[in-house]
Homo-oligomer: A and B are copies of this chain.
Amino acid sequence: MKIVSGGVCAAKGFQAAGIHCGIRANHSKRDLALIVSSVPASAAAVYTTNLVKGAPLTVTKRHISDGVAQAVICNSGNANTCNANGIEIAEEMSALTAQALGIRAQDVVVASTGVIGQPLNIAPIAAGIAPLKAALSDDGSADACEAIMTTDVKKKEIAVEFTVGGKTCHLGGIAKGSGMIHPNMATMLVFLTTDAAIAPAMLTKALQGDIRKTFNMISVDGDTSTNDMVAILANGLAGNDEITAEGEDFSAFMQALNTVNVYLCRGIAADGEGATKLLECAVSGAKDEAAAKTVAKSVVCSNLTKAAMFGEDANWGRVLCAIGYSGADVDVDKVGVSFRSAAGSVEVCRDGAGVPFSEKVAAQVLHESEIDILVTLGDGDGAATAWGCDLSYEYVRINGDYRT
């Protein structure tokens, strides 16, 4: 397996585009994205568990209930959530897209992201579909990626090349963060494409299995979005024998999927609103995997730990505190904690109590932009990793006047 360029266009038969259609006032910011497969594709998606759900999710769920999709249309700048006419608008977005592309409306995945509770005007989208279609190209992934961004600062895009049954396959994705990130059974917006041939049921299985270890293990601010969705389209153009069961081919596919998703997870966490540092909490020695996940998530979600990391302060008591209130069954007298980064590592806690450490070394370790918080629980074989970011002044500034 190797990393390749092209994002969602790396897989054969996929084109993408992103333009400014006018949902956003800022003319330099693209706000409408399109991803199209030249042939109908197997499709699967997972969605937020928030009871308040964006209208596009309801429509997408209905559209891909037959396991088939051919295009993804997504706008930023407005979430089309908590609006009386939300479903109608999402259906209209799908219909306009289908009409322009000459495909079926029920083969369109529709998504929206942005402010909640403000009616979404269909006019700029209706006017934008034709130029959007005209802009479709094999190099369009970056533009599509930009068009789904809200407060994101960096583009999150990747693709890999791998082999299934002797055939070269590709799997790529784009993702949008960067606030209201605390996924539960799904996450933010992530669109994945692959030319591997895989049956819809296996595609769903692969996606649902992988997100438990990837997108469900990230948090920027503890707020689970209303519009989270991860959707994947597999058009089979790589020519491999369709994956219809578990086995070597499915494993190869899962590995590619996991590589892409971990990359996007780290990208989303690192580009969390206002973030200056990516935090990775790796827990080992837990009673079981569930306990490890609970502890890892609790640490990356702790505002106090996040603020300490922003301040580059090795205040490990806050890590212990977050472990203690996580709800996981932990013997606190066996807990060990180290901080690690490109600059080295420093052990700060052993057997639940502090150990002497050099504040100078700790400061060097924490000065890096990617910090690993290593937690050992000494209680079993359970392990898990969660990703988050620090809490900065900028997070507050961004969210103090998001609407205005």
Binding site for B on A (CB under 8 A): 49-53, 79, 81-84, 115-119, 179-180, 182, 184, 221-226, 301-304, 307-308, 310-311, 313-318, 320-325, 330, 332, 349, 352-354, 391-393, 395-404
Q: A308 is contacted by which of B84, B119, B353, B402 (Cβ under 8 Å)?
A: B402
The closest CB in chain B to the CB of A398 belongs to B307
B residues near A115, Cβ cutoff 8 Å: 315, 317
**What 5 additional pairs, Cβ within 8 angstroms, besides A115-B315, A180-B304, A184-B325?**
A82-B317, A117-B316, A117-B349, A310-B396, A311-B401
Q: Is the CB of B313 within 8 A of A353?
A: no
- CA A83 – CA B320 in complex, angstroms? 12
Q: Is the CB of A51 within 8 A of B332?
A: yes
Q: A116 is contacted by which of B117, B119, B321, B391 (Cβ under 8 Å)?
A: B321
B residues near A397, Cβ cutoff 8 Å: 393
Q: Is the CB of B320 within 8 A of A82?
A: yes
Q: A396 is contacted by which of B53, B314, B391 (Cβ under 8 Å)?
A: B391
The 5 closest A-B pairs by CB, nearest first: A116-B317, A311-B400, A52-B324, A307-B399, A224-B325
Q: Is the CB of A402 within 8 A of B324?
A: no
Q: A403 is contacted by which of B79, B301, B313 (Cβ under 8 Å)?
A: B313
Contacts A392-B396, A400-B311, A402-B313; A304 near B51 (Cβ below 8 A): no
Q: Is the CB of A315 within 8 A of B352?
A: no
B residues near A404, Cβ cutoff 8 Å: 311, 313
Contacts A179-B304, A320-B116, A393-B393; A50 near B399 (Cβ below 8 A): no
